[in-house]
Structure 1
Amino acid sequence: MPQIEKTMDMALMGEHGALRQLAMLDQDIDAAIKRYGTPPDRTMAQGFTTLIRIIIGQQISRQAATAVWKKMEIAGLDDASRITDAGVATLKANGLSQQKAEYVHGIAIAVTTGALDLNTLADKPGDEIASILTALRGVGDWTADNYRLFALLDMDAWPYNDLALQEGMKILKSLNSRPDAKTMQNMAMDWQPYRGAAALMLWHIYAQYKKDASPAAI
């Protein structure tokens, strides 16, 4: 597997980095950076593999998603052409649910036929990227936002309906309960265009806050 160039750190904490800018807007973010440090660099490669890995990770733990992906890699089910040829039944036999197998197979077909070109997304505005991705069966806001953030380094992508993110917001803002998706959207309005940086920081806060947790556990 080719080495992925880690560029998230620069996007966050470079001279004009998004997290650096956000810390100047929000004193709670600034205090959290001083207490917990900065988030780890979790840059992911652009393209089909990252998109389906995010789909695999829907509504399951990161550890479980990693285990499924490793099984698929061992079976050679790690690119669009092979997944297209393999079919839904083979994907199910390698750890995917019926629904996720259908999603992944459908996207593989779209890529192999040229109906979907993920290589063109990086040059498009975030809202347009989200529209293209959420038009795919199996891709909702959470998946599109995570792809924008981790693969395209869109520092305003905001996966507001992520539970760990909501827990991070609860900690950051000393709330009595975990905010719901609508509240998350409203609370982050003043963070634009740095909501993606905020998301990375909130995941990091939650990971560090949990007893014996590490950022990679999120």
Structure 2
Amino acid sequence: MAARRSTRLSAAALKGTGVDNISKPPLPKATTESKKRKISTKEDAKHVSNGVEDVPSTPKKKKVTRILPPVTPTPAAIGLMTLPYSSADIDDSTPPPALNRLAVPNGTNAPLISPETHRLISNKHVDQVSPSKKANITSTTKNILDDAIAHLIETEPKLKPIIEKHPCRIFSSEGLAEEIDPFRSLTSGIISQQVSGAAAKSIKAKFVSLFNDGDDPELHTFPTPSQICAKAIEDLRPAGLSQRKAEYVHGLAQKFHSGELTTELLFSASYEEVLEELIKVRGLGKWSVEMFACFGLKRMDVFSTGDLGVQRGMAALMGRDVGKLKSKGGKWKYMSEKEMEEIAEKFKPYRSVFMWYCWRAEEVDVSTLG
């Protein structure tokens, strides 16, 4: 009795003093055991403290990070490569008036400017053809796009609404009148690799300013191959070029300066020869050459199986669900190259135009055409 009375007096003495750490009598064993749960895994152990299970909160759903496909190159992404030649403004100038020249589906249709002499190389004007041979003319810069479109629609009617919504200016008579400096075009392509369009434009302007005096960019002219060769590779770096890109640009300039690459060759050679010669240049891969041949040289029968935008557009045209993208072996594929080539074969000799519309296939609903 004395011990119990002593305990009660001690508790009373502490009451109201702010002391909370009074030892509590242990709970009966049965009560403690009822709150225990058998711990069978390490994961369970995380939620148990002192033998009593914590009340778990609602498990959070794991965030599924969708791996997006690589950015697909499109005509908009290669704008710097395909800008018309201008002797002053480094970005663009008013194109010359459209002339009705001879056109060839399997050849170069752009008028090309020699980078050193600025000599123009182009197909003959129709009026320059002798009267006896005019009757044999089948393609000109004024009708070749119409012929291409008629062939595309006849081959694949699903293309009709896409063609009606998106006029293809690049192969129109106005587009085929734009004069292209192939050296400038290829150099611009190297500069724009793996950077945004804005960054590429800024780097290109700084690169051109290295070879011009004055602060007005509209008075600057694009450097010739000989001017670039006269500079050391390190002297090109201040424009914002990486060491490797500076080497690529310098190497390309040497190819033109030595005569290994010429405007005449790029104008008159077959596509296979153009591809073979340009692939030898460090910094120019197959895709870069395909885009240059298509949009720089304005060749009508170029087709790129490695372009993801073309793959995706072709898959959409074929009625595939392109939203269900799969990556096999670390490479994004919408269609196999073999299947793409088999389908594109039907669109010869206008596969460049077909490729251009593949980029826009998903922008128009073609499902109603079955």
Question: Are the aligned partners of 1:156 and 1:192 in contact in 2 as well (CA < 8 Å)?
Answer: yes
CA distance in 2, matches of 1:195, 1:105: 33
- The yes-or-no answer on 1:176 pairing with 2:321 is yes
Aligned CA distance change for structure 1 residues 163 and 109 (closer, same or farther; 3 Å)? same
Could you tell me which residue of structure 1 aligns to residue 341 of structure 2?
185
Query: Could you state the TM-score of these two structures normalised by the residue count of structure 2?
Result: 0.49
Question: Are the aligned partners of 2:151 and 2:347 in contact in 1 as well (CA < 8 Å)?
Answer: no
Alignment of 1:97-136 (within 5 A): 97-136=242-281
Question: Are the aligned partners of 2:278 and 2:284 in contact in 1 as well (CA < 8 Å)?
Answer: yes
Paired residues, number: 207
Could you tell me which residue of structure 2 aligns to residue 17 of structure 1?
147
Aligned CA distance change for structure 1 residues 27 and 167 (closer, same or farther; 3 Å)? same
Could you tell me which residue of structure 1 aligns to residue 356 of structure 2?
200
Could you tell me which residue of structure 1 aligns to residue 161 of structure 2?
31
- Offset, 1:154: 0.8
- Offset, 1:16: 5.0
Gaps of 5+ in 1: 210-218
- Offset, 1:144: 1.2
Deviates more, 1:82-91 or 1:168-177: 168-177
Gaps of 5+ in 2: 1-85, 88-92, 99-108, 110-139, 212-221, 323-332, 365-370
Identity of aligned residues (%): 26
- Give CA deviations for 1:164-187 in whole Å, capped at 9, x if unaligned: 333333444342236256254343
- Offset, 1:50: 0.6
Could you tell me which residue of structure 1 aligns to residue 53 of structure 2?
none
Amino acid at match of 1:19: I
Aligned CA distance change for structure 1 residues 204 and 94 (closer, same or farther; 3 Å)? farther
Greater radius of gyration (CA) = 2
CA distance in 2, matches of 1:45, 1:101: 22
Deviates more, 1:87-96 or 1:169-178: 169-178
CA distance in 2, matches of 1:78, 1:27: 46
CA distance in 2, matches of 1:141, 1:102: 19
Aligned CA distance change for structure 1 residues 133 and 194 (closer, same or farther; 3 Å)? same
Aligned CA distance change for structure 1 residues 93 and 165 (closer, same or farther; 3 Å)? farther
Question: Are the aligned partners of 2:299 and 2:352 in contact in 1 as well (CA < 8 Å)?
Answer: yes
CA distance in 1, matches of 2:180, 2:283: 20
Question: Are the aligned partners of 2:190 and 2:245 in contact in 1 as well (CA < 8 Å)?
Answer: yes
Aligned CA distance change for structure 1 residues 83 and 204 (closer, same or farther; 3 Å)? farther
CA distance in 1, matches of 2:344, 2:320: 15
Question: Are the aligned partners of 1:161 and 1:180 in contact in 2 as well (CA < 8 Å)?
Answer: no
Could you tell me which residue of structure 2 aligns to residue 47 of structure 1?
182
CA distance in 2, matches of 1:121, 1:38: 27
- Offset, 1:5: 4.4
- The yes-or-no answer on 1:68 pairing with 2:197 is no
CA distance in 2, matches of 1:61, 1:23: 35
Question: Are the aligned partners of 1:44 and 1:150 in contact in 2 as well (CA < 8 Å)?
Answer: no
CA distance in 1, matches of 2:237, 2:285: 21
Could you tell me which residue of structure 2 aligns to residue 215 of structure 1?
none
CA distance in 1, matches of 2:205, 2:314: 32
Could you tell me which residue of structure 1 aligns to residue 285 of structure 2?
140
- Offset, 1:95: 2.1
- Offset, 1:83: 1.7
Question: Are the aligned partners of 1:160 and 1:166 in contact in 2 as well (CA < 8 Å)?
Answer: yes
Question: Are the aligned partners of 2:152 and 2:347 in contact in 1 as well (CA < 8 Å)?
Answer: yes
Question: Are the aligned partners of 1:44 and 1:50 in contact in 2 as well (CA < 8 Å)?
Answer: no
- Give CA deviations for 1:111-153 in whole Å, capped at 9, x if unaligned: 1122221332211211111111112222221111111112221
CA distance in 2, matches of 1:176, 1:108: 45
Amino acid at match of 1:88: I
CA distance in 2, matches of 1:171, 1:6: 37
- The yes-or-no answer on 1:94 pairing with 2:265 is no
Aligned CA distance change for structure 1 residues 88 and 146 (closer, same or farther; 3 Å)? same
Which of the pair has the greater relative contact order for Cα pairs under 8 Å at 6+ separation?
1
- Offset, 1:107: 0.9
Question: Are the aligned partners of 2:315 and 2:335 in contact in 1 as well (CA < 8 Å)?
Answer: no
Question: Are the aligned partners of 1:32 and 1:205 in contact in 2 as well (CA < 8 Å)?
Answer: yes
- Give CA deviations for 1:7-66 in whole Å, capped at 9, x if unaligned: 78x7596475323322221112223112x2223336561420011112223344444333
- Offset, 1:108: 0.3
